[in-house]
Homo-oligomer: A and B are copies of this chain.
Amino acid sequence: MAVQSVESSTTPSASGAFGPAVALSCRECGERFELGPIFACEACFGPLEVAYELPAGDPEGLRRRIETGPNSIWRYAPLLPVPADVAELPSLNPGFTQLVKADNLARELGVTGELHIKDDSGNPTHSFKDRVVAIAVQAARTFGFTTLSCSSTGNLAGAVGAAAARAGFRSCVFIPHDLEAGKVVMAAVYGGELVGIEGNYDDVNRFCSELIGDPAGEGWGFVNVNLRPYYGEGSKTLAYEICEQLGWRLPDQIVVPIASGSQLTKIDKGLKELIAIGLVEDRPYKIFGAQAEGCSPVSAAFKAGHDVVRPQKPRTIAKSLAIGNPADGPYVLDIARRTGGAVEDVNDEQIVDAIKLLARTEGIFAETAGGVTVGVTKKLIEDGLLDPSLTTVVLNTGDGLKTLDAVAPTTGPSAIIRPTLDSFREAGLA
């Protein structure tokens, strides 16, 4: 299936369903393949990613085209593996979420430069997963899949269910059977099939890999398996938006949560693309990775100076980051080291404190993953690894309403009173 001449812009894919994407290329050996529903290199089993011929020569024209485009990730269609008319097809239209200038938080953390929160809780199902799923849905459409599927611990299941409903796909998503009730409702309400698996997330994943090879899984697009190369590209849009919202400028430092590590690697890819096509000035930037102490395989490897990531058994309240064997771990280590960043972790108590700190300073109620990035930012500043005088962007990738349990035990009324002024005064609130 390997092809030799995919660089030619005369291939149907270059002008059609995949926009500027021209091939899949292996991240390990560089072998190229036609754009298809495949995810591993036939030669070396390395992961595949989308390769492009990006628009060059007229950065001003491209910038104008983007700025007058839709208020969603589709404004970046010229840089994504999607057709030019993608915004006219049914989609949840995620993205272009707020970049919040966090002056109150900056004061608390001793940041004298600019501090921004990229708040992805504003997406349609309130996590960054809507971005990646939107690209996967478009690929599924092109490949003729009729069922969308995934393995998930919550956010992704909801994102797939919702996107499938809007786009007219059947969906069948798989979750561990013992998830919190709220996440189950969110995953089921969109009317697709929701299957609880007696086992943990690893069991769910293994089952999905089996199903893909079975006739029962024919015609199924698993967004995070056989559509993964396309899916992953959705995370690039975080980099694009951050730079555009900073006035077409690279941040000096960016703090990204690590689950599989894919998001961090795609943000780096997106920043490099913007430099290459001249949409931002080429300047150094540092990428920092953030993990929970209870699932910190990449942080541990970074600190130990290792190139390989030793798997861990996750035990943290940051369940959306609880991947003990992160597929992109080694790439994350490369990027953190190459850019002069770091990988750090915080414990559950620090995560909860950071969720509350962000809420009380900026009015943003983050999920546990947002507590991880804010907590790690604080720690990196204290340890002198993150320069508080520069422009820093911290990602919040999800919504506190989905992880209420993390803060509920320590978050409640200041007082319960009778409906009288006397009772109000007695409570010391006047």
Contacts and interface: CB of A to CB of B under 8 A. Distances in A.
Interface string A157-186: 010011111101000100101000110111
B98 A181 contact: no
A37 interface: no
Given A185-B407, A195-B413, A190 B427 contact: no
A98 B124 CA distance: 9
Contacts of A425: 216
A424 B214 CA distance: 11
Contacts of A361: 165
**Which of the four size classes fits the interface of chain A?**
35 or more
Interface in A303-361: 355-356, 359-361
B162 A363 contact: yes
Contacts of A64: none
A189 B413 contact: no
A1 interface: no
A104 interface: yes
Contacts of A216: 421, 424-425, 430
Contact of A363 (B96, B124, B413): B124
Contacts of A185: 404, 407-408, 411-412
Nearest to A204: B419
Given A96-B71, A400-B189, A362 B165 contact: yes
Contact of A408 (B126, B181, B191): B181
Interface string A410-423: 01111111111100
A193 interface: yes
Interface of A: 71, 90, 92-93, 96, 98, 103-104, 119, 122, 124-126, 158, 161-166, 168, 172, 175, 177, 181-182, 184-186, 188-191, 193-199, 203-204, 206-207, 210-211, 214, 216, 355-356, 359-365, 399-402, 404, 407-408, 411-421, 424-425, 427, 429-430
12 contacts: A71-B71, A71-B96, A165-B361, A184-B412, A186-B400, A191-B356, A194-B412, A195-B414, A195-B427, A196-B413, A207-B421, A401-B401
